[in-house]
Amino acid sequence: MRTTVAVRNISKMLDHFSQYNPSPLSIKQFIDFGRNPCERTSFTFLRKELPVRLANIMKEIHLLPENLLRTPSANLVNQWYAQSFKDLLKFKDLEVSDKILTQFCESLIMIRNRHSDTVQTMAQGVLELKENYPVDQQTENSIQYFLDRLYMSRISIRMLINQHTLLFGTDLNVTSNSRHVGSIDPNCDVVSIVRDAYENARFLCDQYYLASPELQLFEHNRNMPNAPIQVVYVPSHLYHMLFELFKNSMRAVMEFHGDKETVPPVVANISLGNEDVCIKVSDIGGGIARSQIELLFNYMYSTAPQPSKSASPTVPLAGYGYGLPLSRLYARYLQGDLVLQSCEGFGTDAVVYLKALSSEANELLPVFNKTSSRFYKTTI
């Protein structure tokens, strides 16, 4: 009896919170709040906004094709969301106190840990679907649409959780870089992130190919030619995108020129204009046909059994995963983009666009509404 009542209650709460649209924040708002942070204000905002963002995506999870939702892995992810939603509802009408604030922080850390393997687990769910059911084009389209929205929602929820726990948490492991505001660097030096990402991709490349392309790096600061190019951004997001692009460029170059004495360098051009920061990663790796580009962002196409660690001790440079589609979501999350321009038989340019102005870098959030739910109905 209790279970039925509890389930009915959760379902009512899900309907209640999913009626609200998520409230996007700009990176400027994150910074301005973080420079003079108030934990009670953050708590009051998050104890509603997090259930709203969870409820919006949970309503879409429930609209997924039955064959995917029934897979053990997708079902597990669904249970994680339901549990986290319940955890947050405990704070809904509570009187704020120091004790409640501490418990809230602890709950956020527990929620973040619970969902840490969502991407891999959903990829396993897609694999279970492919192995047990025929997947028609319509189902593939709805899965592509859903996973883009699930991972964008997840990026945004983890951003809110990270800002609160970094600003107010007692986690001593956090090497609080005094300049940073939570996970944001107000003066993120783009060149240093590019060099970090290149060096780490190069390490993997050397391990796998016993050689790697050099990096040529150029800066073009439109209004202040000799000043370093800086942006208000989340360094870990930028690193994630660039690490992926360098891995892909190095793989293409080594596969295309691997039999030669020397291989051509990978070239990074970084520019700052009035609106955009651009990081273009260019290679002469043979390029890829225009008809294949979309497949590189396709979750179904890129989901294959993970090579077992024991079978191949060295991690393949750009193995199967979701590196590229997730990188594009990171770029789009704050109104940027990630665009590929490949010339088959020659090479590839990959451009990361970021907003130069923090006031324009607003969160891009999926909203559950008639349009989005109609998408599932017509494509299932």
Ligand X SMILES: CS(=O)(=O)N1CCC(Oc2ccc(-c3c(C(=O)NC[C@H]4CC[C@H](C(=O)O)CC4)noc3-c3cc(Cl)c(O)cc3O)cc2)CC1
Q: Which residues are designated catalytic?
A: 240, 244, 247-248
Task: Identify which of residues 188 and 329 has a Cβ nearer to ligand X in the complex.
Answer: 329
Output DSSP code: residue 359: T
Closer Cβ to ligand X, 52 or 122, answer by number: 122
Residue nearest to ligand X (CB): 286
**Angstrom distances, CA of residue 237 to CA of 83, 107, 125, 228, 252:** 27, 24, 25, 20, 23
Whole-number minimum distance, CB 267 to ligand X, in Å?
Answer: 12
Q: Which amino acid is at 333?
A: Y
Smallest separation (angstroms) from ligand X to the CB of 72: 23
The whole-angstrom separation of Cα 248 and Cα 304 is 18
Minimum distance, C-beta of residue 342 to ligand X, in the bound complex (Å)? 5
Is the CB of 238 or the CB of 288 nearer to ligand X?
288
Is the Cβ–Cβ distance between 253 and 211 less than 8 Å? no
DSSP 369: S
Are the C-beta atoms of 363 and 334 separated by less than 8 Å? yes
The contact set with ligand X (CB under 6 A) reads 245, 248-249, 251-252, 256, 283, 285-288, 296, 302, 318, 320-324, 340, 342, 348, 350
Q: Which is nearer to ligand X, 56 or 342 (CB)?
A: 342
CA angle (10, 16, 18) in 5-degree steps:
100
Q: How far is the CB of 172 from ligand X (least distance, A)?
A: 35
Q: Are 341 and 261 in contact (CB under 8 A)?
A: no
Spatial separation of the C-alpha atoms in residues 280 and 294, rounded to whole Å = 19
Minimum CB distance to ligand X, residue 175 (Å): 30
Nearest to 228 by CA among 184, 195, 253: 195
| Closer residue to ligand X, CB minimum distance, 328 or 355 | 328
